[in-house]
Structure 1
């Protein structure tokens, strides 16, 4: 038989434990519900990114870094956009990152007079919120403006794919599907007022402060399905600038800069070939040429134009080894001009080399070529007038190792040579001390 107080302690323990669980559960539930309430009292921070110019790979890296920063800080991402277009594959990468962002992304087409053309139209349509400043425009998103150069049936497939992509973005953001598709199929463009009236973008704002006032309280849905309320009234802005590497690559991946590097590279190598042993023009020219080829390859330059420019360089080099009194050089200048004009002939949206730069570089290379050819011709005339003996005492540069025979470059021409004493390495300066038929006798420069 149990004592009357035998159940007292178990019952008390059960009541205390139940009370403890109730309090803990209440704290968890209340805490979970209270967190958003506390957040509502404070405006969200805004990480501001800025894109000016063509959409190239470095822009995708910069935007991805900025969106990731906003996600980590629980901030809203605002992209100031002013672009004439860009590369198709890079645009896809940027839009995919925006669509799948774990924080709201606002695209603000600004300043007044700016535009979101071609690639910019896709980026704007992919944003959770699209805003345009008065005086801006959006559209002209046909695939040819995104670096696509195919013709015929392949071009139709690309256009159909781009149109379907634009429709899907418009459907995702609840925007005007028909008008969005016409930006691709008919290359239509819209002013800020027309874009708002056609439901292509959400609103217009003359400043970022006005943008924040108008958007505060608006809800957006992220890729995960989570709804987020924007609290932008009085928000603190954090400008995220491009880092040094991004700024360098951004400058490098510019059509004019890429073309200029290619031209400087050709000029430097030409000087080194016509005047061996200077070293500096060859080093600078080689580096510039490689950087230029990298930039043009990344920018999807038209291969036909690039081949013509490389053919021009081949003509310039041939003029040095097979003097034709400027015929090969002239052909090289002509090929260079046509190649320059064709580099971005089918690309739109700012991806082209300026005509002024093409004219300046063509005249410069033509002048340089004329000077080099004139120097070679003068050297040949002096040799004919005074005889081979004039070469005695001249300084030459070994073009191959002299062990003891090899080739040297002297007075604008290549000669077979033999060392009188010892050996000389390629690139080493030697002096002509005698002539044996068509072979020069040389020794190390004293």
Structure 2
């Protein structure tokens, strides 16, 4: 017979052994997983890679955000090179300068590659190429048209590539040279500009036009600032500074092969593999000194635009931001006019916040924004306190003017059909509100003492002089100069305190019929 105590001790020892074996297996598994993770990290550290980004479209806040995040990713991955495939018509000056500053300060070399064939690096794209450590283009691509565009209110000095830059045909505003006899001798700044124009005329070769300098002092400042900026980038990377200046002053363009011949770019490559092969061993200028590129056998890692970049690109579209602001404003108005609806208020606050975020990164003219807000307020005020159209008309005028001048950039202006459509919609809403008020004035009162005049009542008992009638389910004191019978239907023709004056329906309607 087996001893119960011995059986218990055997079961306990078995459990302990099982627990010990499981613990040992878990420890071994943890060590294996940690070793594999370390080996993968080590392999990634040892693997030399190039991060490839894509810029396709206008340079703006979304592009700037995407570009700088890509540089951070390349630094985290210890990449050897960043390659940016670019096709752009131009864009915002502020975004372009931020991108160039980030590129010049990046510890990872950046190669700007205009590709695929048929792409361009116009306007701001030309500056980005000159600021890159390696400037490359694919066959059948071009760059140039970097002339500052005349704008109102300050903001964007670079055109949208789709539009012809001012002065590119030789007789635009920016393109005309100001001769000394076209300006009056005024302050010291104008005199200095005249002297500079004379020197430029003297330095020009016979038969050649002098460089463009702009008509006004503001045009000269913008133009000269752009020239100095692109020349400094060219000198940093030992590229053709004279052609860069011509691209700014004269809006000239070059094909890929011409750019290579004139030392505007470094490489013409068919694809990324060809680019990596050609720039291997090339010396580039970094912030901390010169560096020799080692691009052979680099692994390609893509960093494509994600949902954040795409969302930012959508809401920073001036038309979308403008429409979000209108929806947000009216959503809040509808919520305040009928508290508790929740849906208009929720949609309105979300749209308004998105619009404010977009306006934060767009070149906004605050006078235009104030006019839009005032205009919408006046339109709503017309609906709440009719003023025979004065508030409404003034609101529409302020709204349209503010919408037109809202953006401080020619190529980011809001679509005029959209402005006209929203203005017409606001005018239609205001007209509908006014007609509704006029219609309400013609209706008989529905509440109060005025509503009782003309109402019908039923006589409770026969009386002549004073008696009682049932009116709206209530028992009222009544007076009548005509004898009335019980159950007779009468009409209220007057009111004296809590006593109604009634008359038979025939007598009550007779005066109106005779009139």
Deviation at 1:155? Answer: 4.5
The reply to whether residue 180 of structure 1 matches residue 244 of structure 2 is yes
Deviation at 1:95? Answer: 0.7
1:361 is matched with: 422
- Corresponding residue SS for 1:386: coil
The reply to whether residue 239 of structure 1 matches residue 302 of structure 2 is yes
TM-score (norm 2): 0.59
2:225 is matched with: 161
Residues 73-84 of structure 1: matches in 2 within 5 Å?
73-84=78-89
Pair member with larger Rg: 2
Give the 3 Å change call, closer, same or farther, for CA 270–169 of structure 1 in structure 2: same
* CA displacement, residues 410-435 of structure 1 (integer Å, 9 cap, x when unaligned): xxxxxxxxxxxxxxxxxxxxxxxxxx
Contact 1:53–1:84, Cα closer than 8 Å, also in 2? yes
Give the 3 Å change call, closer, same or farther, for CA 311–141 of structure 1 in structure 2: farther
- Corresponding residue SS for 2:287: coil
Aligned partner of 1:222 among 283, 286, 297 = 286
Give the 3 Å change call, closer, same or farther, for CA 271–378 of structure 1 in structure 2: farther
Give the 3 Å change call, closer, same or farther, for CA 205–363 of structure 1 in structure 2: farther
Question: Residues of 2 paired with 1:240 and 1:336: CA distance?
Answer: 42
Contact 2:110–2:134, Cα closer than 8 Å, also in 1? yes
Taking only aligned residues, the RMSD between alpha carbons, in angstroms, comes to 3.4
Give the 3 Å change call, closer, same or farther, for CA 51–201 of structure 1 in structure 2: same
The reply to whether residue 102 of structure 1 matches residue 163 of structure 2 is no
Deviation at 1:48? Answer: 1.1
Q: How many residues align?
A: 347
* CA displacement, residues 249-302 of structure 1 (integer Å, 9 cap, x when unaligned): 333222222112112223324444565653422332233234323322421123
Deviation at 1:246? Answer: 4.2
- Corresponding residue SS for 1:116: strand
Deviation at 1:44? Answer: 4.5
* CA displacement, residues 335-383 of structure 1 (integer Å, 9 cap, x when unaligned): 3333323223x524x423234433443444444444444444444443x
1:5 is matched with: none
The reply to whether residue 45 of structure 1 matches residue 45 of structure 2 is no
* CA displacement, residues 202-245 of structure 1 (integer Å, 9 cap, x when unaligned): 2333433343343344333322223223424x542211134554
The reply to whether residue 347 of structure 1 matches residue 352 of structure 2 is no
2:272 is matched with: 208
Give the 3 Å change call, closer, same or farther, for CA 242–167 of structure 1 in structure 2: same
Aligned partner of 1:70 among 61, 74, 88 = 74
1:413 is matched with: none
Deviation at 1:193? Answer: 4.0
Deviation at 1:100? Answer: 2.4
Contact 2:281–2:292, Cα closer than 8 Å, also in 1? no
2:126 is matched with: 121
- Corresponding residue SS for 2:412: coil
TM-score (norm 1): 0.67
Contact 2:123–2:145, Cα closer than 8 Å, also in 1? yes
Question: Residues of 1 paired with 2:259 and 2:441: CA distance?
Answer: 70
Aligned partner of 1:307 among 348, 359, 370 = 370
- Mean Cα displacement is larger for which, 45-54 or 173-182? 45-54
Contact 1:302–1:343, Cα closer than 8 Å, also in 2? yes
1:288 is matched with: 351
Question: Residues of 1 paired with 2:450 and 2:238: CA distance?
Answer: 82
